[in-house]
């Protein structure tokens, strides 16, 4: 498709979308009706019909009108805040209006409306820039990885400029490529022209083509070139006066750049002096700082000590980037700071009382934390990897391909060993020098590009990510081999000499994978379609052209890494090979295929590396993620824990909490053992709370000695508790919940802590640490909580070798092997959804269901299930047990220990078979608590350096 045909398609979609928006019954929007509206659009401008793919227009519009948006939620504090944003104030807001029009050409109407409402709320929680006197508002916006945070802050900037914020600083990552990408997007969405100082004339882009009035063109202090940051040559003649137009600065989080900016503000912008400190300050211009990837580099990682009153030591100096951001804010009388991130954990660990004389307060989001709702077409971790909704994960998409051939079993040898050095030269598994899995991933990308072209998406960008090492030299070697593979395929296909083996290989992958996956996706996620299935003959015909257009690059952090996307007349096809500079923030347009090996075990770093999350309109079924079983396991933990944190957030919103309340909650979340302790201000310890959480043993020892020992600990517990009884049925609105098993009630906590002390949990499990759990229970007993336990032995479906106690027969349970190694057996989920309700009566169950439904209504778009929940979720049950509700008594003293006897699974051939002793696995459901008690988790420094240092 030519660039003109692509422009015609965009114009027709925009006009037809406007014509269809007035349809009261959106279900009546059919291809036939769309065809009628296309005819009307072409009557307006017959030239739009040139090269127009009407089917592609219809597919895109059907997708757009099937999208629905989840609700935003927010915690806020109105201390010192004066409400100000009214409909009257928004009249004649031209920056926002032209940005909205630009977005309407790209997005569904519902998504644009959601963006409008969302940015209104965020701006309204800031201060009126026309308000006199000093004020300071600091907030955090939490989005999903690759979910449109840039659109949100661009819309916020447009509205802030309309409202009369005059200095707008965007902190855009650590590397030139991300800063340049952000500058380009703001050129399009806010400025309206290319900030290219080398151009002979101004080139209008984006919003500049919608409203070309030069009288509203903002000023800019940085540009889109490689050296376009706030550097000496760009600012020599730059002076800011209190004029009518806003100034935009897009700068890296770089010590030299921020120092220069701070000095320039004090010498060229400041109009007053603080009488107490002598600091130069700006009183006449209100400041807005947008901090993109706010959890990265902005957080003060130094260890500051506080006295018993929470006051910080006076001579403490924060880390450079954090200190400079705070000094810039401290230089303005009227200022607002808004951080944007998908991984807010580090920001919430910021000590809310940190305040120093030179820097002012720290960046804790004391004014608000705003959680962006995800539209229904967003594909995030919960969609890709599914969620734990029972004995297995549910909703995972069939797009993940496991990689096993990148290194040896012990991780020390092979093509890309886990702990390789920067001098590593990958061996040659075959003549290509690449493992078969990477060759297949390249083939999958080629097939995806071909299928997209046949679906009318030739004008769209297509990208592949290869992330196997953090070392530049090793990246360059991988690049050379992938480049040779692609160019070799190009020559064979274009010359039709020796091309038969290539076509045979591609056809095999198409038939074996793509045909069936497209059919599965049409069944499990039809709203992301339609998924037209091209024939192999059609694919084969376009392959020579597709392969000839693919470029292979190393992403090394330069601005050139992103410029081609913006400047390309038609869609680029890029295989990007890189490391950490590629992993965070940088958007790979049209990402289809990912080959991802490196396993950082830090929660926030892993989330950011998930470049494959996002929007894949019309080609989701063609996307593939090639990665290791270990990484899949970690991402599954992330999907579950992210959902858990959002549920906590929603519940706190319901109860009227503030950002400080949530900060205290998240700061003690047990799964955050896997985020950077440097960002947690803890040199050697973490302080965790298990209240309101469920802990499960999903990773267990495989050595027979440990299996036998844990079974012995279970038998000792049974002996100590005495006689139990069959688990009674629980009445539910639509029937009864039944269990095969034995229950003990009012069990003294000592029996539970003795069992945890004797049970050997696997050190590789992210949350289930027996010693830690034992210490936590003992500490809670001091507050008269967790004193009396319900202990249940929950049966399964295995007929052989049942456990028999006092005439009650309890069958063993089966759990599929999720992953295994020589020392570990991992499963997906231990508990069934109903098991946490083993001691919950009908009244409490119904109250928990009401709580679950209330939270679900806020943002149903983030989960696969669109129907209202029919059973309560775990967080609501645990909250109900601990806090109670009207007519439902609270039982913070009652913990629930659930024990399962798992049938030994069959491992890979060649492994030594295990004896018949069952694996003893347990789950603990902790009630919600207001006690605030935490337990200390000590981190071994050597272990930390080995596991986490790369990404700290």
Residue 398 domain flag: no
Note the pLDDT of residue 415: 94
For residue 906, with 0-12 CB atoms within 10 Å meaning exposed, 13-18 middle and 19 or more buried, which class applies?
Answer: exposed
Burial of residue 398, with CB atoms counted within 10 A of its CB: 0-12 exposed, 13-18 middle, 19 or more buried? middle
pLDDT of residue 909: 47
What is the pLDDT at residue 344?
Answer: 60
> With 50 as the cut, is the pLDDT of residue 915 above it?
yes
Alpha helical stretches, state H, 311-435: 320-330, 345-348, 381-385
Same domain flag for 22 and 106: no
Residues 620 and 650 in one domain: no
Q: What is the pLDDT of residues 484-501, one digit of tens each?
A: 999 999 999 999 999 999
Confidence of residue 879 (pLDDT cuts 50, 70, 90): confident
pLDDT at 732: 92
Residue 238 lies in a domain: yes
**Residues ≥6 apart with Cβ < 8 Å to 93:** 158, 159, 162, 163
Report the domain count for the chain.
4
pLDDT score of 298: 67
Instruction: Give the model's pLDDT for residue 366.
Output: 87
In a domain, 437, yes or no: no
Over residues 812-829, the mean pLDDT reads 80
Q: Is 867 helix (H, G, I), strand (E, B) or coil?
A: coil
Question: 32-41, 372-381, 468-477, 838-847: which range is least confident on average?
Answer: 372-381
Q: Residue written as tokens 């696995």?
A: 921
- pLDDT of the residue at 590: 87
Q: How far is CA 886 from the centre of its chain?
A: 36
pLDDT in tens, 711-735: 999 999 999 999 999 999 999 998 8
- Owning domain of residue 351: 75-371
* 314 assigned to some structural domain: yes
User: Does residue 406 sit within a domain?
Assistant: no
User: How confident is the model at residue 932, as a pLDDT?
Assistant: 67
The pLDDT > 90 percentage for the chain reads 42
**372, 603, 637, 773 from 640: Cα distances, Å:** 18, 12, 5, 20
Pairwise CA distance, residues 720 & 799, whole Å: 27
Q: Report whether pLDDT(514) > 90.
A: yes
**pLDDT value at position 7?**
78
| pLDDT, position 741 | 94
Same-domain status, 50 and 79 = no
Low-confidence winner among 242-246, 390-394, 684-688 (lowest mean pLDDT): 684-688
- Same structural domain for residues 55 and 104? no
Q: Chain centroid to CA 54: how far?
A: 35
Q: What's the chain's Rg over C-alpha atoms? A: 29
Domain presence at residue 417: no
Q: What is the pLDDT of residue 942?
A: 31
Phi, psi of 344 (to 5 degrees): -85, 5
pLDDT at 162 over 80: yes
Q: How far apart are CA 699 and CA 827, in angstroms?
A: 7
Confidence of residue 762 (pLDDT cuts 50, 70, 90): confident
Highest mean pLDDT among 406-415, 597-606, 674-683, 788-797: 788-797
Average pLDDT in the 304-315 region? 48
What pLDDT does residue 940 have?
A: 35
Name the more confident of 115 and 680.
115
595, 627, 659 - which closes a domain: 627
Report pLDDT digits (tens) over 106-151: 888 788 888 999 999 999 999 999 999 999 999 999 887 666 788 9
Q: Please state whether beta strands 550-555 and 624-627 pair in parallel, antiparallel, or not at all (unpaired).
A: unpaired
Whether 142 and 277 map to the same domain: the answer is: yes
Task: Taking residues 887-891, report their average pLDDT.
Answer: 91
pLDDT of residue 598: 66
Give 517-559 pLDDT, tens digit per residue.
999 998 888 877 778 889 999 999 999 999 999 999 988 665 5
pLDDT of residue 388: 66
Residue 318: which CATH number?
Answer: 3.40.50.300
Mean pLDDT of the region 164-177: 90
Verify that 593 and 654 share a domain, yes or no: no
Per-residue pLDDT tens for 690-699?
888 888 898 8
Contact 464, 441 (CB under 8 A): yes
Write the burial class of residue 57 (CB in 10 Å: 0-12 exposed, 13-18 middle, 19+ buried).
Answer: buried
Do residues 355 and 475 both lie within one domain? no
Does 698 share its domain with 567? Answer: no
Are 464 and 555 part of one and the same domain? yes
Give residue 674's pLDDT band: very low, low, confident or very high (50, 70, 90).
very low
Does a structural domain hold residue 414? Answer: no
Q: How many CB atoms lie within 10 A of CB 369?
A: 29
Residues 561-567 have a mean pLDDT of: 60
- 378 located within any domain: no
Looking at every residue in the chain, the average pLDDT score rounds to 82
Lowest mean pLDDT among 19-28, 49-58, 459-468: 19-28
pLDDT higher for 79 or 32? 79
9 and 56 in contact (C-beta within 8 Å)? yes
Q: Do 273 and 197 belong together in one domain?
A: yes
364 and 246 within one domain: yes
3 state DSSP class of 119 = helix
pLDDT of residue 225: 87
Among the candidates 41, 65, 89, a domain finishes at: 65
Distance CA 452, CA 533 (A): 10
Q: Do residues 249 and 292 touch, judged by C-beta distance below 8 A?
A: no
Average pLDDT, stretch 174-186? 88
pLDDT at 612 over 70: no
Tell me: pLDDT of 309 over 60.
Answer: no
Choose the final residue of a domain: 371, 406, 431: 371
Per-residue pLDDT tens digits for 193-220: 999 887 778 899 999 999 999 999 999 9
Percent of the chain at pLDDT > 70 equals 80
In the prediction, which pLDDT does 663 show?
56
Q: What is the pLDDT of residue 108?
A: 82
> Do 693 and 813 share a domain, yes or no?
yes
Whether the pLDDT of residue 860 is over 60: the answer is no
| 305 band by pLDDT with thresholds 50, 70 and 90 | very low
Tell me which range, 179-183, 565-569, 661-665, is most confidently predicted by mean pLDDT.
179-183
């Amino acid at each position: 498709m030519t660039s003109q045909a692509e422009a015609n398609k965009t114009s027709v979609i925009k006009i037809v979308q406007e014509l269809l928006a007035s349809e009261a019954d959106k279900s009546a929007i059919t291809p036939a009706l769309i065809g009628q509206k296309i005819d009307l659009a072409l009557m307006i401008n017959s030239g739009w019909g040139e090269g127009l793919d009407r089917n592609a227009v219809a597919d895109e519009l059907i997708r757009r009108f099937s999208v629905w948006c989840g609700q935003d939620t927010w915690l806020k504090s109105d201390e010192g805040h004066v409400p100000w944003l009214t409909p009257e104030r928004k009249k004649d807001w031209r920056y926002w209006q032209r940005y909205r029009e630009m977005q309407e050409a790209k997005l569904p109407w519902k998504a644009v409306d959601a963006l409008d409402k969302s940015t209104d709320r965020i701006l309204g929680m800031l201060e009126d820039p026309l308000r006199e006197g000093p004020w300071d508002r600091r907030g955090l916006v939490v989005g999903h990885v690759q979910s449109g945070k840039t659109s949100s802050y661009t819309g916020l900037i447009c509205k802030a400029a309309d409202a009369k914020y005059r200095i707008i600083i965007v902190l855009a990552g650590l590397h030139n490529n991300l800063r340049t990408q952000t500058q380009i997007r703001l050129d399009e969405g806010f400025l309206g022209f290319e900030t290219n100082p080398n151009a002979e004339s101004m080139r209008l882009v984006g919003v500049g083509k919608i409203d070309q009035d030069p009288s509203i063109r903002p000023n800019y202090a940085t540009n889109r070139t490689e050296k376009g940051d706030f550097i000496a040559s760009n600012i020599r003649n730059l002076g800011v006066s209190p004029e009518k137009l806003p100034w935009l600065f897009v700068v890296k989080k770089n010590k030299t750049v921020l120092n220069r900016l701070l000095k320039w503000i004090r010498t060229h912008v400041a109009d007053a002096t603080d009488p107490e400190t002598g600091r130069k300050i700006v009183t006449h211009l209100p400041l807005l700082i947008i901090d993109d990837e706010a959890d990265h580099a902005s957080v003060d990682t130094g260890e500051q000590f506080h006295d018993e009153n929470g006051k910080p030591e006076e001579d403490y100096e924060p880390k450079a980037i954090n200190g400079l951001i705070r000094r810039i804010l401290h230089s303005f009388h009227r200022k607002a700071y808004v951080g944007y991130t998908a991984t807010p954990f580090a920001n919430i660990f910021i000590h809310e009382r940190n305040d120093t004389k030179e820097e002012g307060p720290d960046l804790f989001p004391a004014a608000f934390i705003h959680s962006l709702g995800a539209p229904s077409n967003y594909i995030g971790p919960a969609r890709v990897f599914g969620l734990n909704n029972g004995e297995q994960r549910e909703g995972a998409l069939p797009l993940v391909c496991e990689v096993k051939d990148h290194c040896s079993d012990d991780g020390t040898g092979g093509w890309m060993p886990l702990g390789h050095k920067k001098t590593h030269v990958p061996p040659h598994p075959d003549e290509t020098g690449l493992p078969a899995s990477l060759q297949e991933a390249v083939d999958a990308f080629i097939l995806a590009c071909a299928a997209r072209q046949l679906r009318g998406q030739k004008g769209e960008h297509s990208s592949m990510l290869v992330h196997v090492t953090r070392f530049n030299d090793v990246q360059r070697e991988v690049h050379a081999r992938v480049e040779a593979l692609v160019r070799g395929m190009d020559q064979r296909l274009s010359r039709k000499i020796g091309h038969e083996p290539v076509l045979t290989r591609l056809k095999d992958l198409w038939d074996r994978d793509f045909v069936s996956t497209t059919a599965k996706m049409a069944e499990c996620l039809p709203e992301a379609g339609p998924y037209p299935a091209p024939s192999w003959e059609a694919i084969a015909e376009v392959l020579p052209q597709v392969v000839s257009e693919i470029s292979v690059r190393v992403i090394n952090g330069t601005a050139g890494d992103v410029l081609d996307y913006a400047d390309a007349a038609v869609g680029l096809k890029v295989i990007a090979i890189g490391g950490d500079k590629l992993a965070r923030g940088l958007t790979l347009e049209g990402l289809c295929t990912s080959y991802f090996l490196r396993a950082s075990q830090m929660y926030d770093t892993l989330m950011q590396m998930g470049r494959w999350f996002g929007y894949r309109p019309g080609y989701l079924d063609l996307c593939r993620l090639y990665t290791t079983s270990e990484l899949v396991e970690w991402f599954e933990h992330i999907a579950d824990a992210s959902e858990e944190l959002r549920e906590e957030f929603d519940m706190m919103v319901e109860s009227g909490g503030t950002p400080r309340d949530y900060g205290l909650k998240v700061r003690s979340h047990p799964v955050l053992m896997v985020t950077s302790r440097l960002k947690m201000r803890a040199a050697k310890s973490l302080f965790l709370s298990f209240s309101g959480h469920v802990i499960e043993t999903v990773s267990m020892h495989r050595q027979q000695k440990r299996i036998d020992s844990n079974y012995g600990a279970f038998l000792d517990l049974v002996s100590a508790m005495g006689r139990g009884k069959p688990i009674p049925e629980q009445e539910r609105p639509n029937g009864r919940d039944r269990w095969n098993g034995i229950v003990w009630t009012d069990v003294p906590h000592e029996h539970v802590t003795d069992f945890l002390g004797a049970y050997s949990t696997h050190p590789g499990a992210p949350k289930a640490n027996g010693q830690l759990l034992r210490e936590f229970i003992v500490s809670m007993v001091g507050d008269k909580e967790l004193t009396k336990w319900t202990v249940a032995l929950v049966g399964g479906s295995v007929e052989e070798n049942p456990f028999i106690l006092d005439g009650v027969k309890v069958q063993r349970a089966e759990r599929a092997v999720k992953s295994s190694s020589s020392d570990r057996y991992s499963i997906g989920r231990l508990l069934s959804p109903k098991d946490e309700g083993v001691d919950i009566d009908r009244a409490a169950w119904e109250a928990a269901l009401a709580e679950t439904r209330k939270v679900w209504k806020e943002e149903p778009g983030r989960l696969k299930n669109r129907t209202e929940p029919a059973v309560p979720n775990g967080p609501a049950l645990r909250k109900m047990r601990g806090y109670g509700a009207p007519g439902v008594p609270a039982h913070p003293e009652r913990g629930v220990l659930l024990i399962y006897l798992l049938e030994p699974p069959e491992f890979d051939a060649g492994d030594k078979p295990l004896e018949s002793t069952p694996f003893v696995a347990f789950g603990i459901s902790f009630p919600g608590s207001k006690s605030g008690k935490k337990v200390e988790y000590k981190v071994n420094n050597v272990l930390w350096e080995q596991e986490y240092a790369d990404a700290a």
